[in-house]
Structure 1
Amino acid sequence: MYIIKGAFLMLYGLGILAGLVLPIQTSVNTNLKNRAGGSPFLASMLSFTIGTIALLFATLLSGQSLFFSSHLFTSQPAWIWLGGLFGVIGLTTNVLIFPYLGAVQTVIMPITGQIIMGMIIDNFSLFDASHHAFTIIRLVGVILLVVGILMVVLYKKASDGADKAKQLHWQFLGIVAGMFQASQAPVNGHLGVVLHSPIHAAFISFLVGTIILFVITGLVDRSYVHAKDAIGKGNPWWIWLGGVLGAIFVLSNAFLSPQIGAGTTVVLVLLGNLFGSVMVDKYGLLNSPKKPVGIMKYIGLVVMLIAVAIIKLY
């Protein structure tokens, strides 16, 4: 009995640690962007490339083939290949909005979009997802979520000179990005079922995302030459870890969801997200700008966590 409880506590701890990865990854990728010519597309491309390489080795170590049957192109819906595109939108948007919103809002705005889109997917069984009706309990969770967001976003300390009106479009962009991220989960989940391996599915998703970003970077930046600016003396080694952190996050979720349930995994990851984002903002970790975190923000984050628990677990 004690061994079983200890094992579950370790899994819960892993879920929280997985959540810590995301705000750190965003900060790391933002630093990479600043040192690679200021292009969010180039930074995302480099991060995706490294993540793809990490997942390539993870796939091989799991005993899976890197290839798949061409029959999938005709036997499966076309949307199973969209996970990489959705991931590109989510990652690149996070890099874009981080300097304007800080770590906390860069976490909670996409989470808001994820919750909204997640309930749409559940209610209408999009992407072959299981049906989960919109109930009164989930409505209560949504109301609490809105209250928590307002407490975090609208509360303003005298020392915080940020013009919130100028942040609105970045906040909206974060919500839209979260909706794409929510769509990525069932798409990659279905691909994992088809391939009989969530790790192989994550590799395919990252590979597709990398190819898309190579094309976008070539079209928008017209060059990849600034990648060398992030290499060498004066550049911290950790700016290249964003892709590895992304791969760790994907693999952790793939491992935890079957063990403790998707809803519990989401709540634990969110707890790690919120804690990590507060630490990044409060202490200016990884060269991030310090942003004040008042008591009202802490209360708002707790309210958000309760709201997500209600939505995901009931």
Structure 2
Amino acid sequence: MTDDLPPLGGTASPEAVFASLELAVRRRLPGRLHGDKRGLTLGSGSEPEEIVRYRPGEDDVRRIDWNVTARASGTPHVWRPLAEHELESWVLVDDTASMAFGTVALEKRDVAAGVVAAVALLTAGPGNRVGTAHLTRDGLAWSAPVLSRAAAHRALRPSSTPRHASGGALDLGSALRAFATRRPRPGVRVVVTDLVEPDGRLERPFSWETPLRRLAAAHETLVVEVVDPRELELPDVGTVTLEDPETGRRREVATGSRRLRERYAAATAAHRAAAAEAVRSARAAHVLLRTDRDWVRDLARHVNGRPMRRVPA
């Protein structure tokens, strides 16, 4: 990790963390941040979208395209504009027990909080807002959308997760279904999770695949997967007692076994590959962030210059 990364897991004030993160994002994304977005439906606006035959009483005569009209033997044609509106982004944050894990400077939930703030900064623009939904052990906790910079500040405050969750215990698949139906208006949707299944499932199909596919069909969707290096490779540290944060089950593991470490690495690599393929199959974008790397740089490398995909209105 580099020295100028935001001190998300430290004791710095939220204002200092915000300033550090904003500086890091701007350094890694030179030029204009990605806050401008064109509308996805026809309506009042200024950008031409399509040329159609003029309909008296319905179309504005000021929008007659005289060049097309001349080519059409004098039959009047007008251009219809693309509606312009503010961008409302929503971030679903996995705040279950497995995210409270980290063996380097940060826990996965620290990176998740930073991602929410970074997304807010990247979508900053006049009138643009960001809302969040936190998946907790008690269900989904919603935070109303606020202006982007305010959302970034909110994400970096200690204990910023809303306390009141509803819906009871949910897995990621159920959370994605609720996430998709709560705000149906097309926009940007970001899902921040470690893609760890509560039952430890490593192979497809995963419970979240179909809900993610439906979400991505209606919104510009990015899945941010957060992992810790110890989840990828098991170090040789003798016999240790490991506890599953989701279930509380414990097991003693002899990490001195080379064969065990190789099997562990192969299983986690297969899971990462299966999860990545599932996200691609859902037609969502995917970026992998690690707690031991410059996660701001990795996120910026993914989004810098990436065009927004059109989704149906």
Measured against the shorter chain, the TM-score band is: under 0.3
Larger radius of gyration: 2
TM-score scaled to structure 2, two decimals? 0.21
Larger helix share, 1 or 2: 1
TM-score scaled to structure 1, two decimals? 0.21
Give the number of the structure with larger relative contact order, counting CA–CA contacts within 8 Å between residues 6 or more apart. 1
